[in-house]
């Protein structure tokens, strides 16, 4: 098989089920229907998968257009291995609530860290310090 340069190599992935990790941290799973020279993707029957600990939830998104510059990672999903995941599937509401709680816990931990840094005379990220004292 001849190796295609750049985004042309994605032609081999057309009509396959792919996992796409976006720059903002979201995970999409869908069937690749179209690509262009900028690696913009059109995914069909797309779901957004949210992981929290050992649980996950899938939010249906339908047809999804992804701008190429937002793609961090993409790869084909092996259907056999996809069925054997060791995670517990939960409802959309449950996973969104777990995600919100996880984000709140991370923010509290970050505030604690910034406070400890300030007490030691170190400067945490300026934007975060401004947020804390508003």
Mapped onto helix, strand or coil, the DSSP state of residue 76 is: strand
Q: Specify the pairing of strand 17-22 against strand 71-76.
A: antiparallel
Confidence at residue 27, expressed as pLDDT on a 0 to 100 scale:
96
Domain locations along the chain: 1-89, 91-134
- Judge contact between 57 and 92, C-beta under 8 A: yes
Q: What is the pLDDT of residues 60-109, one digit of tens each?
A: 999 999 999 999 999 998 888 877 778 888 999 999 999 999 999 999 99
Q: 1-89 — its CATH code?
A: 2.30.30.100
Mapped onto helix, strand or coil, the DSSP state of residue 127 is: helix
The reported pTM is 0.75
For residues 2, 9, 58, 90, the Cα torsion angle rounded to the nearest 10 degrees is 40
Confidence at residue 121, expressed as pLDDT on a 0 to 100 scale:
85
As a residue count, the chain comes to 134
Taking phi over 0 as left and psi of -120 to 50 as alpha, with beta for the rest, 46 belongs to beta
- Looking at residue 16, what DSSP letter applies? S
Interatomic CA distance for residues 120 and 125, integer angstroms:
14
> Residue 132 — pLDDT band, cuts 50, 70, 90?
low
Interatomic CA distance for residues 74 and 97, integer angstroms:
27
Q: Specify the pairing of strand 88-89 against strand 55-66.
A: parallel
């Amino acid at each position: 098989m001849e190796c295609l340069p750049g985004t042309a190599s994605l032609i081999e992935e057309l009509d396959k089920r792919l996992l796409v990790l976006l720059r903002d941290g979201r995970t999409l799973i869908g069937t690749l229907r179209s690509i262009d020279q900028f690696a913009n993707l059109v995914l069909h029957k797309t779901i957004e998968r949210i992981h929290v600990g050992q649980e996950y939830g899938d939010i249906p998104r339908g047809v999804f257009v992804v701008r190429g510059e937002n793609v961090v990672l993409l790869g084909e999903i092996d259907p056999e291995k996809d069925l054997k995941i060791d995670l517990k599937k939960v409802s959309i509401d449950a996973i969104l609530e777990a995600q919100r709680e996880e984000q709140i816990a991370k923010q509290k931990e970050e505030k604690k860290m910034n406070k400890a840094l300030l007490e030691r005379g170190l400067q945490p990220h300026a934007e975060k310090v401004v947020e804390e004292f508003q």
